[in-house]
Amino acid sequence: MRGRYFIVYLTLRLTGARIGEVLMVDDTSDIDFREQMIRLPNLKRHKHKGEVRWVPVPASLIGEIAVYLTEHPEMRGKLFKLDDRNFRRTFEKIALEAGLPRDLAHPHILRHTRAVELLKRGVPVAAVQALLGHASLATTAAYLRLSGQDIKTILRDRGLL
């Protein structure tokens, strides 16, 4: 299943973008293959709506896109043009088959996953805010909640336990 749906999934997972943002990507102009960046529109209804942000992505994602477009040149310019509802239904079906609870079986969970992953790896909250296209730092800060185990590990790593 290494097709368009897989590439959209990877793009969601590795950018933390909203599904609507990813489905608006134009593979002919919004991907910088050399610099490994994807341009995403900002769709939220705030002062930054309509702006774009360039998000760095792993070489593996750029490679998947390049291979797909090489094998399917007729899809150039259409790679990300999927039906939102159909993608959501397919995502939910696969997530449920994989054993995820229904409340986590939606594409937006990948946005949360990316935010938490970046913060746990020490990426500054302001950088995560920019990558996700949040207007307010408070929105990004919601991902900073730590579990009791996280706190214990941090204290142990710093020699405080």
Catalytic residues: 18, 44, 108, 111, 134, 143
Q: How large is the C-alpha radius of gyration of the chain?
A: 17
Question: What is the C-alpha to C-alpha distance for residues 11 and 15, in angstroms, rounded to an integer?
Answer: 6
Mode of pairing for the β-strands spanning 37-41 and 52-56: antiparallel
Q: Name the burial class of residue 90, with classes exposed (0-12), middle (13-18) and buried (19+) by CB atoms within 10 angstroms of its CB.
A: middle
Candidates 5, 144, 14; CA nearest to 80 is 5
Contact 30, 38 (CB under 8 A): yes
* Residue 81 neighbours by CB under 8 Å, 6+ apart: 23
